A and B are shown apart, each in its own frame.
Chain A
Amino acid sequence: MKIAIASGKGGTGKTTLSTNLAGYLSKQYEVVLVDLDVEEPNSGLFMNGPLILSEDKYKMIPEWVGKCSMCGLCQQVCKFNAIVCLEDEIMVFPELCHSCYACSELCPESALPMFPQKMGELKHFRDNHLSFVESRLDIGQEQAVPLIAQTHKYIDEHFNAGFVRIMDAPPGTSCPVIEAVKKVDFVILVTEPTPFGLHDLKLAVETMKALNKKFGVVINRFGIGNDDVISYCKEEGIDILAKIPNDRRIAELYSRGELIYDKFPEFTEQLERIKKYIFTLN
């Protein structure tokens, strides 16, 4: 089973839910939690267990061989402004490059061969029945999608369907989110019962519908705000999997980088509901 945890905006409790759900399920199942928020992965702050593997991840970028006729075709075909032809030099800006290969393959003199360039790092930790994989983009790298795609591939190669695979997706509704949820069976959308929460939930729901994904909602900080998120879900026929209570103590535990489920029966109860729900899905 492959599940993604996503949200329309940041700061709704996506990481709190994914780390705790993973920890809770690992009492009974083999679980892997994957942090796909590659620009700012922080699930790791809540995870223990030794590092068992670390590998550099690469994207392909063109490198100028140092000599050519300076015809300028490469700069002309690059729609991402990643190439600048100066008087006697061709400069490539790797972080702007989308690895489309156009400049490299169209160059009449083969002066821009593609080479792997490090874009980030994947780390794999293991603590008993809970594995944790995170990928982190190097500073200055802007293309999250290729690293997310490679992380999915790593998961498919190392964890078979016997594992509960939980993907912590980046926030928002843009390309990295789409890449993160592309290959999952079910998406849990985390929201807050506030006007901001509802507004961003609607955007996330539209995105899931456009992608033909099955999804449900978990309401975090339940008790603050109002009932509009509940009414919206009812009208749209969206299942609400759980309601995590609003409690200052949860925010305090989070601020210290601690897990919550083993300290809070009310919270554990909600995780149990999510577990029941996702294990009855087909």
Chain B
Amino acid sequence: MKEIVVISGKGGTGKTSITAALSYLGGKDVVVADCDVDAADMHLLMQPDFSNKEKFYSGYLATVDKDKCTNCDKCIEVCRFDAISYVDGKININELNCEGCGYCAEICPEKAITLETRYVGDWYISKIKTGGTMVHARLGIGAENSGKLVAKIKNEAKTIASSEHKEIILIDGSPGIGCPVVSSLSGANYAIMVTEPTVSGVHDLKRVHQLVKKFSIPSGCIINKADLNDLITKQIKEYLELENINLIAELPYDETFTEAMVNGKTIVEYNHSSLKCKMVESWEKIK
């Protein structure tokens, strides 16, 4: 089984559109895992049926039993997050501010505060329009993606892949360089880095590649909107060569990506022969 993860560092490089196109090309032979939970947009192109839904819990939330509480204020004194205050004369916990550290529960003399696991969103196993399977998630407000959620999504995808004898898991990786992206990369066999020739694009490519290197994962790069700035594209290519990163494809700045998206389609389903061709070639190189 091969685990391929697509990452980009910053948003807006076209990572999700590219991952969706590759998923389409992989068809029913791939299991797709959308780990970009903060901006989970891939479902808009893959039409999942949301057939299997489960709740996801992560971290903790303090709750007060108002009958047991004697308003001694000890919890307010220890809380570093301004999460506890009086509402209508009763101790109240502000859910958005509570970090779930449990200090208040630990010291409450009346044992009126308990720490509960926090419901942060839902995750799904869906059939998608290619006939393949996609594992994805949706988080509530203020909830953050975590290594735990990414590990969960990837694990489900792996279980499905091994029981249905699928050879490839394609992962839309999390943005940034924090815990979720580390979890996206962990265990992967190949990383595709999507970048664009802008000053910030290059910067982010280098940062995200540091991580990939640390995990000794072989990697390739797709330069999106490559003709937007020839000078920076050239710099990116020099960097790739220096670091021994495979240049998978250079895609032009092309609004057809957006047109396809508006029609709920990936670029390879859309009538655009040269872009489609490039994506097909890319997929052949990667899979």
Chain A contacts to B: CB under 8 angstroms: 8-12, 15, 39-40, 42, 45, 77, 79-80, 98-102, 105-106, 139, 142, 171-175, 178, 194-196, 199-200, 203, 206-207, 210-211, 224-226, 246, 248, 251-252, 254-257
Contacts and interface: CB of A to CB of B under 8 A. Distances in A.
Contacts of A200: 39, 41
B1 interface: no
Given A98-B99, A102-B103, A142-B178, A9 B232 contact: no
Interface string B27-49: 00000000000110100100000
B225 A251 contact: yes
B16 interface: yes
B209 interface: no
7 nearest A-B pairs in the assembled complex, by CB-CB distance = A11-B12, A10-B11, A100-B101, A9-B39, A11-B11, A102-B103, A255-B229
21 contacts: A9-B38, A9-B39, A9-B41, A12-B11, A12-B12, A42-B199, A45-B200, A79-B100, A99-B80, A102-B78, A142-B178, A173-B139, A175-B96, A175-B142, A196-B39, A210-B96, A225-B261, A246-B255, A252-B229, A255-B199, A257-B199
B62 to A, nearest CB: 10
Contacts of B197: 255
B142 A199 contact: no
Contact of B41 (A199, A248, A255): A199
Contact of B102 (A102, A194, A207): A102
Contacts of A196: 16, 39, 41, 44, 261
A99 B78 CA distance: 11
A199 to B, nearest CB: 6
B199 A100 contact: no
A106 B16 CA distance: 46
A91 B160 CA distance: 38
Interface residues of B, number: 54
B178 A100 contact: no
B198 interface: yes
Given A106-B106, A174-B144, A256-B229, A11 B10 contact: yes
B204 interface: yes
A40 B107 CA distance: 38
A166 B267 CA distance: 37
Nearest to A43: B200
Contacts, number: 139
Given A173-B142, A196-B39, A211-B96, 19 more contacts: A10-B175, A39-B178, A40-B200, A45-B199, A79-B100, A102-B78, A139-B177, A174-B143, A178-B142, A195-B262, A196-B16, A224-B259, A225-B261, A246-B255, A248-B253, A251-B228, A255-B198, A255-B229, A256-B229
Contacts of A194: 258, 261-262
A194 B12 CA distance: 12
A257 to B, nearest CB: 4
B11 A171 contact: yes
Contacts of B12: 9-12
B59 to A, nearest CB: 8
A235 to B, nearest CB: 19
Contacts of B13: 11
Given A196-B16, A196-B44, A256-B229, A172 B96 contact: no
B56 to A, nearest CB: 14
A34 B261 CA distance: 33
